[in-house]
Structure 1
Amino acid sequence: MKLTAFLRTGLSALILALPLAAAAQEATIRKNLAERVPGLTDIDEVSKTPMDGLYEVRVGTDILYTDAEGNFLLHGSLLDTKARKNLTEERVAKLTAIDFKELQLKNAFSITRGNGKRKLAVFEDPNCGYCKRFEKDLAKVDNITVHFFLIPILGADSVEKSRQIWCSADKAKAWVDWMQRDIAPKGSGKCNTDALTANLDFAKKYRITGTPTLVFADGTRVPGAINTQQIEELLNQR
């Protein structure tokens, strides 16, 4: 009984010591990196990775890796060769995901094709060349509802065109005419455009800094233009 009690006491002490040791380890990494690497004074999170001795250092949605002392710093992808997974890619996807329910659809206009069952949200600037290329590929996708959020981030003309499109009698038609046919929007631009401001605020909150940015129904976020086949593959996976 005495031996059992001794073992229990020792185990309890070990369990209590583990969080303290982890906290001390994190403190060491934070301290050393902040002192040695300019720009790493605002680390959001330090956590262990599945690889022994390797720690993840997260700054916003940027992922770095270091050793237990913060003596070395790596930037790149951590691959699990046994499971054949890109752990860094999966981690970034999780960090950048946007809950579809958080989208303010009142600040978007929508286009439905076919049965409209598959859902997609897209943040775009009307003067974005990549967006225009993407729109031509997106137009080939059927059985989808697309919610378009205008975020004029490329200058004054983007603001003006976004206002004109938003203030058009048929927003979707004005958008398609401009993005796919180069027919300039004819809206007056004189209506309530609070939605555009709200979209920019949303983009800032979720660090949407480029267009197009796609958000799928499960929250997966994809930055940049992708082709029709890639859109279909991602829609069918969700």
Structure 2
Amino acid sequence: MKTISIRRIAPLMLLLAPIVLSSSDSADTDADIAYLKEKYANVDDVRPTPVPGLYELQFGYRIAYVDATGQFGFLGSGDLQNVSNGENLTESRRADMRRELLAGLDDWDTLDFLPDRTEHELLVFTDVDCGYCRRLHQQMAEYHELGIGVRYVAFPRSGPDTDSWTTMQSIWCSGDRNAALTVAKAGGFVPERQCDSVSVERHFELGREIGLSGTPALLTPGGELIPGYVPPIRLAAILNEETVSE
């Protein structure tokens, strides 16, 4: 039988103790939520958690936890976990938000490389100067043979006002954007172009919001964020397993 180290969960228990005890003195959940929305004016959503008196705050694609007073909780990278079954409740919520993002994907001006028979669609954050991004693109035919389609968004890791940013902006302003991206990923020259598109900026900010630090980054239909390159056969296995688990 799997055992759980008291040393590992003791800090969590100590942190939650005052929160749980104070919950009996708090107003009802709706009042707590209204109070927290007023206290954190820039919060996007507030919802209760399975822990009495502990609330989830959503700021864009970032999550924090506070008690009903808004004074104590987890801010930053502290994830909430169900220690009885190992489920990371914070990651489950992140996956929910990523699925919502995918539901509105048509509004994100992606560059799509889709097979005739698409079984899985991935959102892929890419950079033209990333070696593994180029490797993924070179194997596009293999992904397509396995029914995997790719929808690219731009994430030039070097940031604004750099050569990579300018190249990606030029690609999104090209007449044949897919062809321009393929040329760039092969190390070819893409003529500089300007247009009214703000897609690269939007994509980059989105990547920062969900905590990207590198490319490629793959977002699956189930909301899982996979950092780095994954070979075609291995990726197909991951996606098929995700489909079965749903």
Normalised to the residue count of structure 2, the TM-score between the two structures is: 0.61
Q: Which letter maps to 1:148? A: Y
Alignment map for 1:186-197 (pairs within 5 Å):
187-190=190-193, 193-194=195-196, 196-197=197-198
**Matches of 1:57 and 1:167, distance apart in 2:** 37
1:93 is paired with a residue whose SS is helix
2:94 is paired with a residue whose SS is helix
1:44-78 Cα distance to aligned partner (Å, 9 max, x none): 33322112332223333222223333342224122
Q: 2:225 aligns with which of 204, 212, 222?
A: 222
Q: 1:80 aligns with which of 72, 79, 82?
A: 82
Calculate percent identity across the aligned residue pairs. 26
Q: 1:158 aligns with which of 129, 140, 164?
A: 164
Q: Which letter maps to 1:92? A: R
Cα RMSD of the aligned pairs, angstroms, is 4.0
**Matches of 1:116 and 1:128, distance apart in 2:** 26
**Matches of 1:221 and 1:49, distance apart in 2:** 21
Name the residue aligned to 1:48: 48
Unaligned runs of 5+ in 2: 1-26
Change (3 A) 1:117 1:151: same
- Once the two structures are TM-superposed, the CA of residue 41 in structure 1 deviates from its matched residue by 5.2
Name the residue aligned to 1:21: 28
Change (3 A) 1:104 1:112: closer
Alignment map for 1:129-168 (pairs within 5 Å):
131-132=133-134, 135=137, 141=143, 142-150=146-154, 152=156, 154=159, 155-163=161-169, 165=171
Change (3 A) 1:137 1:74: farther
Q: Is the 8 A contact 1:67 1:73 kept in 2?
A: yes
Change (3 A) 1:64 1:159: closer
Q: 1:103 aligns with which of 96, 102, 105?
A: 105
Change (3 A) 1:125 1:214: same
Q: Which letter maps to 2:202? A: D
- Once the two structures are TM-superposed, the CA of residue 117 in structure 1 deviates from its matched residue by 3.3
Name the residue aligned to 1:198: 199
Q: Is the 8 A contact 2:126 2:156 kept in 1?
A: yes
Change (3 A) 1:68 1:121: closer
**Matches of 2:36 and 2:156, distance apart in 1:** 40
Deviation beyond 6 Å, 4+ runs, structure 1: 136-139, 167-170
- Once the two structures are TM-superposed, the CA of residue 89 in structure 1 deviates from its matched residue by 0.5
Q: Is the 8 A contact 1:43 1:59 kept in 2?
A: yes
**Matches of 1:116 and 1:71, distance apart in 2:** 48
**Matches of 1:51 and 1:200, distance apart in 2:** 38
Whether 2:116 is the aligned partner of 1:119: answer no
1:164-185 Cα distance to aligned partner (Å, 9 max, x none): 5457786545534543x5x223
User: How many residues were matched structurally?
Assistant: 207
Q: Is the 8 A contact 1:43 1:58 kept in 2?
A: yes
Alignment map for 1:54-73 (pairs within 5 Å):
54-73=54-73
**Matches of 2:53 and 2:110, distance apart in 1:** 47
- Once the two structures are TM-superposed, the CA of residue 202 in structure 1 deviates from its matched residue by 5.7
1:68-98 Cα distance to aligned partner (Å, 9 max, x none): 3334222412222344421111011112334
